[in-house]
Amino acid sequence: MSVDPNMPILIVDDYKTMLRIIRNLLRQLNFTNIEEATDGSMALRKLREKPFSLVISDWNMEPMTGLQLLKEVRADAKLKDLPFIMITAEAKTENVVMAKKAGVSNYIVKPFNAETLKGKLTTVLGDF
């Protein structure tokens, strides 16, 4: 499967610095079509407005957490198959188990590097 570097990606984090880091790392991996949301509700709104090919979301956000966002996405008939990667500092086993149960496509623990991000993107989207 070939990956379109122009595919629309939504990154979600309430920490502007983190959004900037993820955006820059994605850009260095040649992804160019990146949008941002600063919490789960804003992300959900954007996802329902136009099509995205991937969501990369933080977990710990207010008022809607990344896990709640994931559950909303999986419960939505139009969005349920959307690849969803969680990037979070929540590193307890129960968090990963819960996210898997909710249907997360992959899980990255912060701090992470570009190689890890690329590896998970390949697992979820295919080689690029």
Partner 1 sequence: MSRDTAVDDRQLRDLLTQLKKRLEKGDLKIEEVSGLVESLAKYLPADAKTTSQDEKRLFGELDELSNIIRKMKSEIASLRPDDIKAEYIPNATDELDAIVDATAGATHEILDAMDSLEEFAASLPPEQAEVVTNATMRVYEACNFQDITGQRTTKVIKALKAIEERVEGLVTAFGAEIARYAEAHPRKAKDERKGDDALLNGPQLEGKGVSQADIDAMFN
Residues making contact with partner 1 (CB under 8 A): 15, 17-18, 20-21, 24-25, 28, 60, 89, 110-114
Residue 22: CB minimum distance to partner 1, A: 9
Whichever of 47 and 61 has its CB closer to partner 1, that residue is: 61
Whichever of 21 and 79 has its CB closer to partner 1, that residue is: 21
**Letter for the amino acid at 36?**
E
Alpha carbons 121 and 17: distance in angstroms, whole number = 21
Helix-strand-coil percent breakdown of the chain, rounded to 5? 40, 15, 40
Whichever of 68 and 116 has its CB closer to partner 1, that residue is: 116
Residue 51: CB minimum distance to partner 1, A: 28
Whichever of 25 and 96 has its CB closer to partner 1, that residue is: 25
Sheet holding 54-57, edge to edge: 34-37, 9-12, 54-57, 84-88, 106-109
Alpha carbons 106 and 20: distance in angstroms, whole number = 21
Residue 91: CB minimum distance to partner 1, A: 10
